[in-house]
């Protein structure tokens, strides 16, 4: 394979990208803005549902439906385990699907369509009263809700993995892949903003907007879900109608992230590669930070700071506005700092937010400083998440026959770790005082960010060692 020696700026300005192998030369035009935007809207339904799932599931089940803290955490764990098991299954079978058997529709879009149908048929029931069983025992209701949660998470996993694995299919250029990831994240932020704005409007336009959330607020969550699912249905329809999945052409080429000897090019070689697990640790730590902050900041606002219900929308809204602004500059930071330095910067910003939250007390903090804290959370999380997805795309390189499997495996560790962390924190919260969620968010999210930074540093050190060994070998041979 020919190694591209152009500078990052030169690569980004090219109108055509060329991949050369021993047998074929494949050319792809740079992606148009239309294609980039259509790709971006393909995950909006998932993002709308994820926003409700991570931000309001525990609030809804614990404060509205009256489930215990541990029972509400168990519901989330069941969903995360179902998602964790589904992602590698979908990833493997998506990669192994025969493109010719999918006609012209595409193997990735076929799985995306399957997942979309599952999500639409299950998610609205999760945020609705138990049909014909509202007055039954809570454990009986838990079984009822668990069935819809499992279907929803299987569908969510299918959409997520198939959508991510389209990135290496659409372009071989690492900077365009980062740009697609940033666009995808921008729509994620847009989806969260829409959910939080609608939630704020629904909670604010009531006489009891200064009161905390209670059982009488069930219908409000159903209205928010209706808006989210309706918007997601429209964007999914446009995605499937307007985006044509390209035929798979890039296989078994080198990854731009690694020296040649470290580059895995098949499912088996991925599982045998140390770098595969290192990138997995980065992704897992990133998702732990982002998801735990999204899950527990509303409970922190409610239990620890005793703020009114409307702040459960306004504070996350500010956090995701910060995320959106940061996502606009992630591509430039990745280009000029490099992936590992950009990720480390994001992790340090995230840790700074955790420290501020831990030491923040008093009326001034609760009324004003909390918004600055979540701005820091949003900026650090966005930089970490987009860059970690870029690292994952770099690991895949042009070996797109492994793309869905890699994203599925990464999601497996992420979902399992998140589910276990949430159920453990909720179990401890049963007997803890009101200040518990300050500790949970500060140390849980801060520890996840530190773990991910160490994983990034290990990739850097490992890559330097292998590169030095290859240089010494080449010098000896010459």
Q: How far apart are CA 464 and CA 208, in angstroms?
A: 59
- 3-state class of 9 per DSSP? helix
- Level-2 CATH architecture, domain 32-477: Up-down Bundle (1.20)
C-alpha distances in Å from residue 423, one per residue of 65, 427, 450: 18, 6, 21
Q: What pLDDT score was predicted for residue 100?
A: 55
Q: What pLDDT score was predicted for residue 8?
A: 32
Report the chain (478 residues): mean pLDDT per 10 consecutive residues.
Answer: 33 34 47 88 93 88 86 89 86 68 72 94 92 84 94 93 86 78 84 87 65 78 93 95 76 48 59 82 93 90 86 87 87 86 94 95 90 95 90 76 77 85 87 88 95 91 71 65
Q: What pLDDT score was predicted for residue 475?
A: 66
Nearest to 349 by CA among 313, 323, 315: 323
What phi and psi values does residue 246 have, to the nearest 5 degrees? Answer: -70, 155
Q: What pLDDT score was predicted for residue 206?
A: 59
Do residues 75 and 142 lie in contact, with contact meaning Cβ atoms separated by under 8 Å? yes
Strand partners of residue 28: 17
Is the overall model pTM greater than 0.85, yes or no?
Answer: no
336 burial class (0-12, 13-18, 19+ CB within 10 angstroms)? exposed
Q: What pLDDT score was predicted for residue 230?
A: 95
What phi and psi values does residue 26 have, to the nearest 5 degrees? Answer: -115, 130
DSSP string for 22-52: SS-EEEEEPPPHHHHHHHHGGGHHHHHHHHH
């Amino acid at each position: 394979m020919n190694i591209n020696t152009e500078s990052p700026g030169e690569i980004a300005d090219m109108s055509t990208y060329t991949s050369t192998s021993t047998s074929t030369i494949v050319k792809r035009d740079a992606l148009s803005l239309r294609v980039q935007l259509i790709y971006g809207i393909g995950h909006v339904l998932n993002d709308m549902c994820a926003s409700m799932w991570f931000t309001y599931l525990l609030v809804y089940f614990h404060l509205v439906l009256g489930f215990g803290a541990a029972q509400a955490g168990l519901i989330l764990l069941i969903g995360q385990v179902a998602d964790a098991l589904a992602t590698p299954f979908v990833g493997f079978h998506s990669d192994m699907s025969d493109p010719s058997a999918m006609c012209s529709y595409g193997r990735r879009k076929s799985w995306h369509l399957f997942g979309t149908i599952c999500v639409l048929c299950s998610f609205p029931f999760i945020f609705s009263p138990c049909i014909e069983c509202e007055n039954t025992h809570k454990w009986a209701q838990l079984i009822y809700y668990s069935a819809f949660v499992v279907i929803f998470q299987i569908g969510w996993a299918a959409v997520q993995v198939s959508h991510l694995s389209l990135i290496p299919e659409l372009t071989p250029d690492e900077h365009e892949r980062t740009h697609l990831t940033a666009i995808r994240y921008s729509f994620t932020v847009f989806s969260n903003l829409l959910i939080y704005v609608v939630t704020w409007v629904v909670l604010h336009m009531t006489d009891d907007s200064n009161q905390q959330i209670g059982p009488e607020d069930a219908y409000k969550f159903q209205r928010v879900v209706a808006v989210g699912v309706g918007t997601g249905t429209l964007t999914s329809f446009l995605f499937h109608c307007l985006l044509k999945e390209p035929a798979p052409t890039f296989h078994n080429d080198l990854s731009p992230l690694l020296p040649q000897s470290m580059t895995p090019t098949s499912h088996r070689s991925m599982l045998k590669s140390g770098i595969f697990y290192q990138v997995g640790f980065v992704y897992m730590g990133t998702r732990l930070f982002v998801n735990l902050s999204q899950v527990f900041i509303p409970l922190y606002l409610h239990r620890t700071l005793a703020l009114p219900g409307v702040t459960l929308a306004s504070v996350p809204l500010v956090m995701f506005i910060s995320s959106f602004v940061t996502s606009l500059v992630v591509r430039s930071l990745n280009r000029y700092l490099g992936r590992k330095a950009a990720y480390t910067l994001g992790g340090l910003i995230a840790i700074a937010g955790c420290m501020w939250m831990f030491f923040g007390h008093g009326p001034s903090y609760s009324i004003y400083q909390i918004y600055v804290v979540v701005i820091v959370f949003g900026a650090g999380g966005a930089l970490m998440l987009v860059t970690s997805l870029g690292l994952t795309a770099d690991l895949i390189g042009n070996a797109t026959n492994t793309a869905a499997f890699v994203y599925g495996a990464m999601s497996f560790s992420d979902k399992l770790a998140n589910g276990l962390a949430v159920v453990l924190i909720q179990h401890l919260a049963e007997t803890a005082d009101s200040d518990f969620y300050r500790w949970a968010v500060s140390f849980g999210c801060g520890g996840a960010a530190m773990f991910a930074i160490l994983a990034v540093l290990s990739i850097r050190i490992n890559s330097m060692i292998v590169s030095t060994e290859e240089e010494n070998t080449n010098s000896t041979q010459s």
